[in-house]
Structure 1
Amino acid sequence: MNSQSILEMSDRARAVFRLVVENYIDNGAPVGSRTLSRLAALNLSSASIRNVMQDLEEAGLLAAPHISAGRIPTEIGLRLFVDAMMQVAEPSAEERAEIERRSANAGPIEEAISSVTATLSGLSACAGIVLVPKHEPVLRQLGFVPLSGRQAMAVLVGQDGSVENRVVDLPSGVTPSLLIEIGNYVSERLAGLTLSEAQERMTAEVSAGRAAIDRAAGDLIARGLAVWSRDGARPVLIVRGQARLLDDDATAHLERVRQLLDELEGKEEIARLLDLARDASAARIFIGSENKLFALSGSSVIAAPYRGGDGRVVGVVGVIGPTRLNYARIVPMVDFTAQTLSRLMA
């Protein structure tokens, strides 16, 4: 059954399904027919509710974790609820004020982003996650130290004093004196530029014949700058509030929580998942095994992109928690956090 089939469900089935999902999200426990029959809004007998729940189970929307227990929504059921039935609630004035206060009171931009993510973690009772763009270093100097006839140590010094080393292969015929010329050219013509800017200028000058180096030397510089440029552009993943996953309910699902904490150690995998939300116009929701990374822990991710002053996406912020998240409350909270970070980056 997909989200289109919500139109095919009877009013009775929709009402029962909604109440099962909402009760499960609130309490984290299977929901039985006796529980639902006590709700005045439903006005159905336990027997009628059991029949409807059986139909919903056969449709793949509900499941019975134990023979005599009530029902819980499946991941398919949660997706149907989120896409077709959920009514979101805007963050409260207190929640909005707390997120904005933490963004205003922090120091450097990286510290502010981390602080806002920690606040989102606290308000949502989930682990907060954020992809932070790593700024490219600005070039001050580039030198080459010969190691052998075929390799040299490239030493890059940034304007901030940072130093990076790389071993690079030398083209045939490159002499120690040519390595000195390369270093002088970089210092004179490319200092003060980011790595990608330096690469663009050097390529243009070599192509136009204006550079004081030949094409082989230019290729050597380009290869070194390309590696550093890729490293500099790689985003950094920050995770805050992992301890919030160890709530009272966690004792009943210790293996799931242990698996989730293990998954949070795989930051590159999570970064790739968050990258899927970069093109979204608002918060995007990944439920359980919809993403193979969280197939074992049965966790959900809610993430939204935030933008820089030029309107381009520069990062993604969100939360990770159990599939029984209060999506209606947390989705707009993540959206508001992304909007706050966008204002911070402008």
Structure 2
Amino acid sequence: MTQPVAELSDRARAVFRVVVESYLGSGAPVGSRTISRLSGLNLSPASIRNVMQDLEELGLLAAPHVSAGRMPTETGLRLFVDGMMQAAEPSAEERAAIEQQLVQRGGPIEDALAAATAALSGLSACAGIVMVPKREPVLAQFGFVPLSPGRALAVLVGTDGTVENRVVDVPPGTSSSTLNQAANYVSARLSGYTLAEAQARLRAELSQGHAALDAAAHDLVERGLAIWSEDGASRPVLIVRGQANLIDQAAAADLERVRQLLDELEDKEEIARLLEGARHAPATRIFIGSENKLFSLSGSSVIAAPWHDAEGHVVGVIGVIGPTRLNYARVVPMVDFTAKTLSRLMA
């Protein structure tokens, strides 16, 4: 259980703050002489060492090497973030950089979210992540292009202008006229419906004998609609940007941790599961190191906040992933601002 801030003496709180803030800025352990120069505490290095020893016994600091200075533990970072951190609001330039990516959007929402996530990643020097709202495309047009015997390319055009292609298996000997009949039926009868709605309408028209389709064309329509439904249900709806930001000078001394983190970032389904933990949080959530199972090996932190639609319903989650030594006081308000901007501009 984390030591309450109130139980620390004024001297211990002051030394602890200097250690944490110096470590988050440099990524290096902090020695007593450095603290005596930086803190203005008017304490001797010997007195500071005694306080640091007490903080270490409380589990708030650790010494990576016998002769090295101290660095905060994950428990210490949690104490600092929850009880001592003084947040710094994003600058006007930072706010403008994030807003610009969302205001200047004319295509699919994913493009705007990817751009905003990339901007957040660059400003925070972390990897940016966003959980995109799950959505089904609304059909505008549909077509089949023969590729080879037994295979065709199904082309779906959504009402938002998106175009997606999928290769589908078709019965050998399927004629071009059958492909055209199936495509024309979808475009004429199912346009304006989501995939689920289109499938339900197709079944209803067939049961009522209203579908002007022969058996082969009916089979093609079902195949075409089904492949998108299955694909959409299984695809992790997650965008990750800025992984290169994780490889900085400080990380060069710990390449194995960086490699582990980059491997973890490939598991988008697990990241999406982690972000689910922030969906219904009243404020920005901070996961430090082993507090989340996914990033416990790399010792990384996740800062994430939900964003909402006009009715106040949670739509998705946006955030960053970085080393535990990231600048929480700067990054937490930045993630919070991005989530609130998304809620305001995308409602």
Give the alignment's TM-score, normalised by structure 1: 0.78
38-47 or 76-85, larger mean C-alpha shift: 38-47
SS state at 2:112 partner: helix
Aligned equivalent of 1:276: 277
Q: What's the CA shift for 1:159?
A: 5.1
* Count of residues in correspondence between the two structures: 324
Q: Deviations over 1:30-83 (max 9, x none)?
A: 111111122353222212211111111111111000000010000111011111
Q: What's the CA shift for 1:7?
A: 1.7
How far apart, in 2, do the equivalents of 1:163 and 1:121 lie? 30
**Letter paired with 1:324:** R
SS state at 2:294 partner: helix
Residue pairs, 1:216-295, within 5 angstroms = 229=229, 231-232=231-232, 235-295=236-296
SS state at 1:133 partner: coil
Classify 1:256/1:105 alpha carbon distance in 2 versus 1 (closer, same or farther; 3 Å).
same
Q: Deviations over 1:197-225 (max 9, x none)?
A: 4567789x79xx98989xxxxxxx99997
How far apart, in 1, do the equivalents of 2:202 and 2:77 lie? 54
**Letter paired with 1:270:** I
Q: What's the CA shift for 1:195?
A: 2.9
Residue pairs, 1:115-126, within 5 angstroms = 115-126=115-126
**Structure 2 regions of 5+ residues with no counterpart?**
145-150, 170-182, 212-220
Aligned equivalent of 1:343: 344
Q: Deviations over 1:115-158 (max 9, x none)?
A: 11111111111111112224203357899xxxxxxxxx9x9875
How far apart, in 1, do the equivalents of 2:185 and 2:99 lie? 47
60-69 or 121-130, larger mean C-alpha shift: 121-130
Aligned equivalent of 1:132: 132
Q: Are 1:263 and 1:294, in contact at CA under 8 Å, matched by a contact in 2?
A: yes
**Structure 1 regions of 5+ residues with no counterpart?**
144-152, 168-182, 214-220
How far apart, in 2, do the equivalents of 1:142 and 1:211 lie? 23
Aligned equivalent of 1:31: 30
Classify 1:333/1:211 alpha carbon distance in 2 versus 1 (closer, same or farther; 3 Å).
farther
How far apart, in 2, do the equivalents of 1:330 and 1:112 lie? 21
Residue pairs, 1:64-75, within 5 angstroms = 64-75=63-74
How far apart, in 2, do the equivalents of 1:64 and 1:289 lie? 18
How far apart, in 1, do the equivalents of 2:191 and 2:21 lie? 59
Aligned equivalent of 1:148: none
How far apart, in 1, do the equivalents of 2:59 and 2:237 lie? 39
Q: Are 1:138 and 1:158, in contact at CA under 8 Å, matched by a contact in 2?
A: no
Superposition misfits of 4+ residues, deviation over 6 angstroms: 140-143, 183-189, 199-203, 209-213, 221-227
38-47 or 327-336, larger mean C-alpha shift: 38-47
Q: Deviations over 1:168-219 (max 9, x none)?
A: xxxxxxxxxxxxxxx999999765321344567789x79xx98989xxxxxx
How far apart, in 2, do the equivalents of 1:230 and 1:81 lie? 45
Q: Are 1:278 and 1:305, in contact at CA under 8 Å, matched by a contact in 2?
A: yes
Aligned equivalent of 1:176: none
Aligned equivalent of 1:92: 91
How far apart, in 2, do the equivalents of 1:40 and 1:321 lie? 27
Q: Are 1:18 and 1:81, in contact at CA under 8 Å, matched by a contact in 2?
A: yes
Q: Deviations over 1:240-287 (max 9, x none)?
A: 111111111111111111111111111221121112111122211111
How far apart, in 2, do the equivalents of 1:15 and 1:328 lie? 17
Q: What's the CA shift for 1:309?
A: 3.5
Classify 1:290/1:325 alpha carbon distance in 2 versus 1 (closer, same or farther; 3 Å).
same
Classify 1:87/1:138 alpha carbon distance in 2 versus 1 (closer, same or farther; 3 Å).
same
Classify 1:211/1:188 alpha carbon distance in 2 versus 1 (closer, same or farther; 3 Å).
farther
Residue pairs, 1:72-83, within 5 angstroms = 72-83=71-82
How far apart, in 2, do the equivalents of 1:111 and 1:142 lie? 24
Q: What's the CA shift for 1:341?
A: 1.9
How far apart, in 2, do the equivalents of 1:95 and 1:297 lie? 28
Residue pairs, 1:296-311, within 5 angstroms = 296-311=297-312
Classify 1:305/1:186 alpha carbon distance in 2 versus 1 (closer, same or farther; 3 Å).
same
Q: Are 1:287 and 1:300, in contact at CA under 8 Å, matched by a contact in 2?
A: yes
Identical-residue share of aligned pairs (%): 69
In the alignment, does 2:194 pair up with 1:194? yes
**Letter paired with 1:82:** V
